Amino acid sequence: MRVRPSKMGHVLQEAHHLTVLTIPPSRLVIVPAALPADLQLILVELHAQTHVDHAHHHVIHVHHQMAELLVLRHNCRLARISRHQKVEKEKSNGMDIPSALGEPSNRPNSTASATEKAPSTSRKRRSMVVDEIPFPEEPVIDNPLQETNSSLTASLIQNLDVRGAIFRGLKSTVVAKLNERSLPELFNENQAGTPVIFAKSTDDISSIVVVEGTHRFSSIRSRLLNKSELETNIAVKIVVVSAAEFDDIWRVAHPITYIAGVDSKEKAHLEKLPVRVTRFLRKTFSNESMRTKGAYDEYTKARNQYEFLCSRFDKAYRSVLRENARYHHLVMKMLFEEKLITKQSQAESELSGFYAYLMSSEVRELFFNSFEELPAMNKSHSLIYRASKYHEETVIAWIKERTGPNSKLFPKSLMMRKMQQLLKREEANDVNKFNANDKSDEKCLHDEDETDEGAPKAKKARKPTSEEKEERAPTTGTGLQVLKHVNQVPANAVLVVQGKVPSVNELVGKGVSVVIINPIETVSTFKDMCKIAESSSVLRCGEYFKKTFVAAGPLIKTGNAGSRLSASTIPTLLVKLTDGEASRARTPKMRCYTILDLQPTF
Question: Which tens digit of pLDDT belongs to each residue from 504-562?
Answer: 888 988 889 999 998 888 888 888 888 888 877 888 888 887 788 999 998 998 887 76
Whether 548 and 497 share a structural domain:
yes
Give the integer Cα–Cα distance in Å for 18 and 251.
58
Q: State whether the Cα torsion 427-431-432-434 is positive or negative.
A: positive
Give the integer Cα–Cα distance in Å for 265 and 271.
17
* Cα Rg of the chain (Å, integer): 33
Backbone angles phi, psi at 223, to 5 degrees: -95, 155
Beta strands in 219-313 (DSSP E): 233-240, 254-255
Whether 516 and 584 share a structural domain:
yes
CATH number at residue 263: 3.90.1530
Give the integer Cα–Cα distance in Å for 254 and 211.
11
With a cut of 50, say whether residue 459 has pLDDT above it: no
User: What pLDDT does 30 receive?
Assistant: 53
Q: Could you tell me the residue range of the domain that residue 373 belongs to?
A: 298-425
Q: Is residue 420 part of a domain?
A: yes
Mean per-residue pLDDT for 384-411?
Answer: 80
pLDDT in tens, 205-236: 889 999 999 999 999 999 999 999 999 999 99
Q: Is residue 8 part of a domain?
A: yes
Q: Is residue 455 part of a domain?
A: no
Q: Is residue 442 part of a domain?
A: no
Q: Is residue 406 part of a domain?
A: yes
Whether 318 and 233 share a structural domain:
no
411-418 LR contacts (CB < 8 Å, sep 24+): 412/373, 412/374, 412/375, 413/375, 414/601, 416/375, 416/378, 416/380, 416/383, 418/599
pLDDT in tens, 474-494: 445 567 888 888 889 998 899
User: Domain count of the chain?
Assistant: 4
Give the integer Cα–Cα distance in Å for 349 and 241.
34
Mean per-residue pLDDT for 239-244?
Answer: 94
Last-in-domain residue among 47, 69, 103: 103
Closest by CA position to 186, among listed 173, 172, 175: 175
Percent of the chain predicted with pLDDT > 70: 66
Helix (H) or strand (E) run with residue 27 in it: strand 27-32
At 578, which amino acid appears? T
Q: Is residue 440 part of a domain?
A: no
Whether 261 and 180 share a structural domain:
yes
Whether 304 and 270 share a structural domain:
no
Instruction: Please give the mean pLDDT across all residues of the chain.
Output: 75
Whether 264 and 312 share a structural domain:
no
Whether 403 and 511 share a structural domain:
no
Whether 14 and 96 share a structural domain:
yes
313-319 LR contacts (CB < 8 Å, sep 24+): 313/136, 314/136, 317/133, 317/136, 318/357, 318/358
CA distances from 278 to 39, 138, 273, 309, 558 (A): 36, 12, 6, 10, 69
User: What pLDDT does 166 receive?
Assistant: 92
Q: Are 553 and 535 in contact (CB under 8 A)?
A: yes
Q: Is residue 437 part of a domain?
A: no
User: What pLDDT does 57 receive?
Assistant: 38
Burial of 594 (0-12, 13-18, 19+ CB in 10 A): buried
